[in-house]
A and B are shown apart, each in its own frame.
Chain A
Amino acid sequence: MKSTVLKTYSAVVLFLALRAIGNSAMAWGMRQVPEQMSMNPALYLRAMANPFVALGIVALILALLSRMALFSIADLSYVLPVTAVGYVIAVFLGKVFLHETVTHQRWLGTLLIFGGAALVGSTTGNTTPPEGDLE
């Protein structure tokens, strides 16, 4: 039981860190890509040659895997509220590292989103044991 709790917290922290690194690197890298993205997949492939975009992709893939691992030990109703703090982290990183202008209105909106996401996620039951039909 204690081990599952530790695993859950590890997965949450890992997911939030990887998501923050991935989003920031992706945003920084995409601003250096001269071509405007469209429906042409070749443009996205060319953009992936940018080292920051590549770093963002790797971090976001690892974030996806850590979230999948999190889903295997915790319910969506637990995962959503605890990871909602990621919205606040993204705005903070945008302001501090990407030097974006974040108005009071945007901060207020982000805090409303964080509170709303936490409220939505807290409305259903606790974690349920996985079925484990694979192993």
Chain B
Amino acid sequence: MRWVLVIVMVFATVFGDLLQSHEMKRAGEQSVTAPGFAKLVQVVARRRLLILSICCNAVSFFAFMALVQKEPLSFAVPASAASFVLETLLAKFVLHEDVGPRRAAGAAAVLAGVMLVGG
């Protein structure tokens, strides 16, 4: 069950990250001050893809809640790094990006790390 929750968390995170990164670039520079956060909420409300990205974050979040109820935090958080492996696979096989040896080595190190953390 722990790995099912990790997989749900990772897929939702990756999809949410891609949407957020894309949309926040289009939305323009935002501030981290209190008024900046208020403006950011307005920006989110106006952009459908950002709302979808937040839905993905919510799914990931509920999976994380269920995971930390039974599993240690020192497993749950590092295991979520498996998203790097999925992102690299998506970049290579879906977006047909040129994944260089450094990125492939990084993703392999993350995968090995996740396996060690979960072992």
Contact = CB atoms under 8 A, between A and B. Distances in A.
A10 B116 contact: no
Contacts, number: 198
Interface residues on B, range: 35 or more
A55 interface: no
Q: Is the interface of B mostly helix, strand, loop or mixed?
A: helix
Given A72-B28, A133-B28, A37 B72 contact: no
B78 A113 contact: yes
Nearest to A88: B78
A119 B73 contact: no
B40 A116 contact: no
Interface in A101-126: 101-102, 105-106, 108-123
Interface of B: 17, 20-21, 24-32, 36-37, 40-41, 43-44, 46, 50, 54, 57, 61-62, 64-66, 68-70, 72-78, 81, 84, 87-88, 100, 102-103, 105-119
Interface of A: 4, 7, 10-11, 14, 23-24, 26-27, 30-31, 33, 36-38, 44, 47, 53, 60, 62, 64-73, 75-76, 79-80, 84, 86-87, 90-91, 93-95, 98, 100-102, 105-106, 108-123, 128, 130-135
